[in-house]
Structures are given as structure tokens and as C-alpha cells.
Amino acid sequence: MATNAGAASPTAGHHSIYIIVNDQRVGPFINDEVTGADIKTKAGLALTTDLFEKRGHELVPIENSQQIKIHENEVFIDLPPTPVSR
């Protein structure tokens, strides 16, 4: 009878990742690749808000469907949606 005694479990090597959204610790995320919608949902934000990753003094927009790689204590903020110019 064959066994998988030496096989790694599907979660081996994975750890829970926590990020910061609007100065609040959010997580755990099991996978380091998530979408903007995943972050908003986990943080309890409306999907209609605009999400940004803080990189130094820059705010980088993250779309709901955009897949990104997150890192421990990475910082994000949300802002109300901006009106579209007509």
C-alpha cells in the first residue's frame, strides 16, 4: 500500500498574511495572491470604494479584479469613489 508520508500538505510552507487597511490589521490571507475585491471584502469595505496601495508617498490604485501579490504589513487605504468628469 502506497503512502504519501513524504508528501507536503497543500498548505505546507504557507503562512497567514496580515495587511493594514485604513490603519487596521486585516487578515488572515492564506494565499499571497489576491484581488482588490478580496482585500475589500476581508476588510469589510464596499466594493464601490477606491482601493490604493501606499508605496512611500505614492498611492497606487488597485482595481477590484486586479490580482496582486501581498506582503506582511503591506499598507492599503480606501477612498470614496471619485466622480467621473463629464
Spell out the per-residue pLDDT of the chain, length 86, in tens. Answer: 444 444 444 444 568 999 999 999 999 999 999 999 999 999 999 999 999 999 999 999 999 999 999 999 999 999 988 776 44
CATH code of 17-79, in short, is 3.10.20
Output the CA torsion 12→13→16→17 (10° steps): -150
Burial 37-66 (b: 16+ CB within 10 A, else e): bbbbeebebeeebbbbbeeeeeeeebebee
pTM here? 0.79
